[in-house]
Amino acid sequence: MSAIGHRFDPSILREYDIRGIVGQTLTASDALALGRTMGTIAVAGSGRIAVVGYDGRMSSPMMEEELCRGLASCGLYVMRIGLVPTPCLYFATKMLNASLGIMVTGSHNPSNYNGFKIVLNGLPFYGAEIKRLRDLAARGVWARAEGGAVEGEALGAYAARLALDYTSRVGLKVGWDPGNGAACPVVLRLAHRLPGEHMLINETVDGTFPAHHPDPTVEENLEQLKDLVLKEELDIGLAFDGDGDRIGVVDDKGRVVWGDQLLAILARDVLKKKPGSKILADVKASQVLFDEIERLGGVPVMCPTGHSIIKSKMIATQAPLAGEMSGHIFFADKYYGYDDALYTAVRLLALLAEGGKKISELVDELPKMVNTPEIRIDVDDSRKFAVVDEVKERLEADGAMVDGTDGVRVSAEGGWWLLRASNTQPALVARCEAPDADSLQALKKQVVSQLKASGVGIPAGSLLAV
Residue 1's pLDDT is: 46
Q: Which of 32, 53, 31, 158 lies closest to 102 in space, CA to CA?
A: 53
**Domain match, 164 and 294 both:** yes
**Domain match, 257 and 279 both:** yes
Residue among 59, 107, 308, 439 flagged as catalytic: 107
**Domain match, 199 and 296 both:** yes
CA distance 266 to 293: 10
Which residues, listed in sequence order, are joined to residue 79 by a DSSP beta bridge?
51, 150
| 430 domain residue, yes or no | yes
User: What is the count of structural domains for the chain?
Assistant: 3
Residue 341's pLDDT is: 98
- The SS3 call for residue 85 is coil
Termini Cα distance of the chain: 61
| 257 domain residue, yes or no | yes
Instruction: Give the other-Cβ count within 10 Å of 130's Cβ.
Output: 19
**Domain match, 249 and 354 both:** yes
**Domain match, 40 and 140 both:** yes
CA 87 from chain centre, in angstroms, equals 11
pLDDT, mean of each 10-residue run, the chain (466 residues):
80 91 97 98 94 98 98 98 98 97 95 96 93 95 96 97 95 98 98 97 97 93 98 98 97 96 96 97 95 97 92 94 96 97 98 96 95 91 94 94 94 95 88 96 96 92 80
CA distance 40 to 220: 43
Which residue, 344, 364, 384, sits at the end of a domain? Answer: 364
- pLDDT tens figures, 347-380: 999 999 999 899 999 999 999 999 998 899 999 9
**Domain match, 328 and 196 both:** yes
Angle at 123 between CA 118 and CA 127, to 5 degrees: 65
Residue 462's pLDDT is: 85
**Domain match, 148 and 162 both:** no
**Domain match, 29 and 125 both:** yes
User: What is the Cβ-side half-sphere exposure of residue 225, based on CA atoms within 13 angstroms?
Assistant: 35
| 464 domain residue, yes or no | no
**Domain match, 222 and 286 both:** yes
CA distance 453 to 466: 16
Residue 463's pLDDT is: 84
Residue 46's pLDDT is: 87
CA distance 295 to 305: 23
DSSP state of 74: B
CA distance 416 to 290: 13
Residue span of the structural domain in which 405 resides:
370-453
| 209 domain residue, yes or no | yes
| 458 domain residue, yes or no | no
Residue 466's pLDDT is: 67
**Domain match, 281 and 176 both:** yes
Which residue, 342, 364, 386, sits at the end of a domain? Answer: 364
**Domain match, 50 and 77 both:** yes
Q: Is 107 a catalytic residue?
A: yes
CATH number of the domain that 431 lies in?
3.30.310.50
Q: Residues 6 or more apart from 272 whose CB is under 8 A from it?
A: none
**Domain match, 279 and 163 both:** yes
CA distance 236 to 349: 9
CA distance 50 to 78: 5
| 459 domain residue, yes or no | no
Which residue, 97, 122, 153, sits at the end of a domain? Answer: 153
| 465 domain residue, yes or no | no
| 460 domain residue, yes or no | no
Question: DSSP labels for 4-72?
Answer: ------GGGB-SSSEEEEBTTTB-HHHHHHHHHHHHHHHHHTT--EEEEEE-S-TTHHHHHHHHHHHHH
CATH number of the domain that 347 lies in?
3.40.120.10
Question: 132 and 23 in contact (C-beta within 8 Å)?
Answer: no
* Burial of 104 per CB tally in 10 Å (0-12, 13-18, 19+): buried
